[in-house]
């Protein structure tokens, strides 16, 4: 069964397995003790620290091991903020940081600190100019990931670090997704990473703090790991993490070139064979093994399960795959389509045959999901553009279930609280002649957009369709549909229990 979710957790590298088993025999003692067993354990710990420091590009005494990558991020942010508390309580984060960074930022805000979110462009990239604009005299710390975990876009770490250094602000880099591929760009002050992202065992993180950076450990300190990661660490796992990091970096150049070619094939073939798909993330400045795309009129969870039954393990950022029913914060910050989202991240050793089989099955599975949801087979208003490719024979769907019941437009004023009368489709009160209001309240992604597509051809050019929805994903997906279809997104407004999204027909 092909595993295409290496960005969540990479399979355990053979070197990690070997090192783990070997160190279980010699690495069980306390490395802080002076007896023979303690000295043997200390030698293993020191060798692991040196190997990890070499991969990171820092001094061994600047690096400590933590219980996880999340623990490294939380300790790094809290320690840097505490060490610079006299400067102020300002914290900068990009809008697409990993949730561990955003959770730490939320906690800092709850304690009275100031959090500023730096926006990204449509590819998911932050900019040095964006950080320069956000820096203030009271900024104590800035955070930026080395590469995005959902769409693979590589961030301009060196440029942002230069801007931060000029302002005297340390930069924390979350290098979890990229450390297995390359040494981080110069200029960082604090760095965090996680072993299970590169093929090491879970439960091991790295935290590096450059000499000279003001840092006050947030937790009660003890004599271990420079006081930055208290407690008796899992030495066999640490040894395995360091050994596997050295091994994957030795293989990185050749494997990156091979996987990049496979991902390039996925990016091009998906856009050719799957109608109405948006491949997101920077096509050039990206991780070599990761690609993300969103399929219009598709329920992400249903597609994910269909791929799982077909033998492919992938992940998704669609809101319908989440217990929160909100779209991925990364896709939201980028302003791209979120429905039917699939992330493919190839582990080392992925074969071309596995990728080819995935590409053969995907169009048919997408077609089946769309048929089940009652999506329009063809949209006569679709604009001819690269974002809306024409369907080919590979996307033919087979009936798998009755079509979903349509959304039911409202005969009441869409602004009125509780204005939901199922089964009606009416003109908007103050809209151009021929305009319609479609009630999709209570319907989750991608139903609001499907119903919009069904009725847009019923209104004259210049008229509008207003979709009432209480699904947060509609805030992304309605504008994205307009861009893919060449229609005008006229904006949104509160409407009772939900939001009214207005689209003007142009073609």
- Residues with active-site annotation: 320
DSSP string, 313-351: B-B---GGGSTT----HHHHHHT---TTEEEEEPPTT--
- Concatenating the DSSP letter of every residue in 149-205 gives TTT-BBP-HHHHHHHHHHHT--EEEE-TTTTTTSPPPTT-SEEEEEGGGTTS-SS-E
Structure tokens at 182: 């390359």
Taking the alpha carbons at both ends of the chain, their separation in whole angstroms is 45
Residues found in the chain: 507
Judge contact between 424 and 450, C-beta under 8 A.
no
Rg (CA), the chain: 25
Phi, psi of 116 (to 5 degrees): -115, 125
- Find tokens 């990479």 and name the residue: 10
Longest distance between any two alpha carbons in the chain, whole Å = 88
> Percentages helix, strand, coil for the chain, rounded to the nearest 5?
40, 15, 45
Q: Which residue has the tokens 């947060």?
A: 472
Contacts with 438 (C-beta within 8 Å, 6 or more apart), sequence order: 407, 409, 425, 448, 451, 452, 455, 465, 466, 467, 468
CA dihedral (220, 222, 226, 228) in degrees, to 10, reads -30
Residue 109, C-beta contacts closer than 8 angstroms, at least 6 positions apart: 115
């Amino acid at each position: 069964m092909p595993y295409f979710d290496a960005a969540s957790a990479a399979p355990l590298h053979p070197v990690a397995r070997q090192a783990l088993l070997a160190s279980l025999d010699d690495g069980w003692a306390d490395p802080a003790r002076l007896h023979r067993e303690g000295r043997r354990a200390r030698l293993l710990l020191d060798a692991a620290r040196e190997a990890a420091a070499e991969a990171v590009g820092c001094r061994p005494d600047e690096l400590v091991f933590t219980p996880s990558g999340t623990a490294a991020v939380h300790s790094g942010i809290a320690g840097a903020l505490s060490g610079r508390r006299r400067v102020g309580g300002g914290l900068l984060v990009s809008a697409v940081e990993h949730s561990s960074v955003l959770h730490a930022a939320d906690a800092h805000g709850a304690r009275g600190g100031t959090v500023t979110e730096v926006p990204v462009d449509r590819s998911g990239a932050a900019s040095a100019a964006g950080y320069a604009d956000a820096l203030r005299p009271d900024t104590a710390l800035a955070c930026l990931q080395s590469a995005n975990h959902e769409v693979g876009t590589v961030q301009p770490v060196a440029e942002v670090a230069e801007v931060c250094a000029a302002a005297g602000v340390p930069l924390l880099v979350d290098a979890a997704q990229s450390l297995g591929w390359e040494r981080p760009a110069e200029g960082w002050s604090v760095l965090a990473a996680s072993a299970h992202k590169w093929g090491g065992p879970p439960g091991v993180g790295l935290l590096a703090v450059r000499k000279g950076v003001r840092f006050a450990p947030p937790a009660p300190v003890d004599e271990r790991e420079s006081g930055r990661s208290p407690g008796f660490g899992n030495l066999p796992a640490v040894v395995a993490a360091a050994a596997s990091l050295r091994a994957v970096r030795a293989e990185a150049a050749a494997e990156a070139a091979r996987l990049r070619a496979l991902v390039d094939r996925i990016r091009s073939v998906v856009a050719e064979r799957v109608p109405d798909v948006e491949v997101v993330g920077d096509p050039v400045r990206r991780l070599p093994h990761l690609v993300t795309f969103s399929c219009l009129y598709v329920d992400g969870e249903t597609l994910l399960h269909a791929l799982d039954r077909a033998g492919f393990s992938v992940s998704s950022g669609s809101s319908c795959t989440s217990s929160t029913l909100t779209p991925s914060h990364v896709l939201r910050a980028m302003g791209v389509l979120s429905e039917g989202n699939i992330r493919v991240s190839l582990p080392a050793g992925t074969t071309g045959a596995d990728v080819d089989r995935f590409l053969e099955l995907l169009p048919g599975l997408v077609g089946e999901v769309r048929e089940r949801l009652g999506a329009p087979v063809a949209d006569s208003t679709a604009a001819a553009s690269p974002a809306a490719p024409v369907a080919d024979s590979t996307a033919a769907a087979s009936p798998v279930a009755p079509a979903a019941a349509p959304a039911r437009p409202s005969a009441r004023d869409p602004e009125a609280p509780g204005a939901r009368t199922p089964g009606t489709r009416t003109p908007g009160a103050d809209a151009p002649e021929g305009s319609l209001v479609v009630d999709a309240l209570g319907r989750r992604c991608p139903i609001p957009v499907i119903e919009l597509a069904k009725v847009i051809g019923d209104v004259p050019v210049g008229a509008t369709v207003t979709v009432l929805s209480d699904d947060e994903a509609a805030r992304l997906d309605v504008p994205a549909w307009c861009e893919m279809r060449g229609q005008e997104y006229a904006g949104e407004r509160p409407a009772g229990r939900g939001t009214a999204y207005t689209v003007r027909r142009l073609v």
